[in-house]
Homo-oligomer: A and B are copies of this chain.
Amino acid sequence: MTAASGKGPTRIRLGFVGGGRGALIGPVHRTAARLDDRFEVVGAVLSSNAEKSVADAAALGIPNGYGSLGQMIRAGGLDAVAIATPNDSHAALAIEALDAGLHVVCDKPLANTAPDGRRIARKVAETGLVFCLTHNYSGYPMVRQMRAMIEAGRIGKVHLVQASYRQGTLATAIETSDDIPARLRWRLDPAKGGGSHVMGDIGSHVHQLIRYTTGLGIDSVMAELGAIVPGRQAHDTGQALLRFANGARGQMLATKVAHGAENALAIEVHGDQGGLEWRQSRLDELTWLRNGEPQQILTRGSPYLEPLARQACRLPPGHPEGFHEGFGNLYRDFAEQVAARLEGREADPLAATIPTAATGLDTLLFIDACIRSSETGSWQKVER
């Protein structure tokens, strides 16, 4: 069945670039794409060696393998591509795909540099194609509930924001080891992994989560980025004080030296009428706080959720969803937007909140400001 079949739901014909054997995020993309059966994976570029790419694709059950994106494009039959290669290659690949009229899913961060990010964002704007940046945490139902509640004014005017992402993966000097996995090695190389490893890798998630939930722009930052583990070149920790455009204040932390921290992503937003707290370790819960009233624990799947959250739920409350479903929600919303184009109809407006190239550019400009601030020891404006 193809996208043109007309029977059943339209399935988007998708090609993968990157994310082959040994990759961290490749299997996640493939599982996320498969979750709702909205995609037909028709090809993959898993190596610059075409023969190896064919073999690797077959091993994954993907019918066709190619040595380059250009080759895959020329083979035809694609509606969209998903890019899961090292950050420094995103711009060239995304632009090539967009130029070929293909919709794009792209792994985060958008790029290693703001200029690269800006080129992608402009091309997306020019072509009008659908672009989804997989900041997957914005696919979680209770993160969407947080956004919807803040947008609906449930906590009043936002005045304080705290967010953090803690890992322990670089708590010791593992990069001096010989057996460091290849997937980690490129990330720690500033040329491939970006000027601030920790900010690009997980600080970008923190920034995007703040933006997604609060809708607020960050006006200026006072940051300190660097390597806490002696002898390390790559940044392993980034901290910043934040001033928001609406006058709110806040703080963020992204670190990989928090021993034993297991992808501990958390956000807490307070307004003048209440507060909301969410953390990945209890992803199906959202805590609503108001002075003088009992705390309320909202749970995924519940009937009282806002439409944006309800639409993102698959299972009843108490039957846990997880990372794959959150990631899958981005793929599903992307599929909905692409299918609407293919079918000549309006897309479901609830599918419209997926992170885009513009979102990703915002994050790169935020990281740039953090780097300038850390180098100068002074507050820096975030460029728009």
Interface residues of A (CB under 8 A from B): 1, 7-9, 11, 27-28, 30-31, 34-35, 37, 58-61, 63, 155, 159-160, 162, 164, 167-169, 171-172, 222, 224, 226, 228-229, 237, 239-241, 243, 248-251, 253, 255, 257-264, 268, 270-275, 280-281, 283, 288-299, 301-304, 314-325, 377-379
Contact = CB atoms under 8 A, between A and B. Distances in A.
A8 B237 contact: no
Contacts of A169: 291
A289 B168 contact: yes
Contact of A159 (B167, B229, B292, B320): B229
Contacts of A259: 155, 270-275, 289-291
Copies in the complex: 4
Contacts of A240: 241
Contacts of A314: 27, 31, 324
A320 B283 contact: yes
B379 A316 contact: no
A297 B294 contact: yes
A306 to B, nearest CB: 13
Nearest to A377: B379
Given A34-B35, A253-B251, A275 B291 contact: no
A217 B299 CA distance: 35
B291 A294 contact: no
Contacts of A249: 224, 226, 228, 237, 239
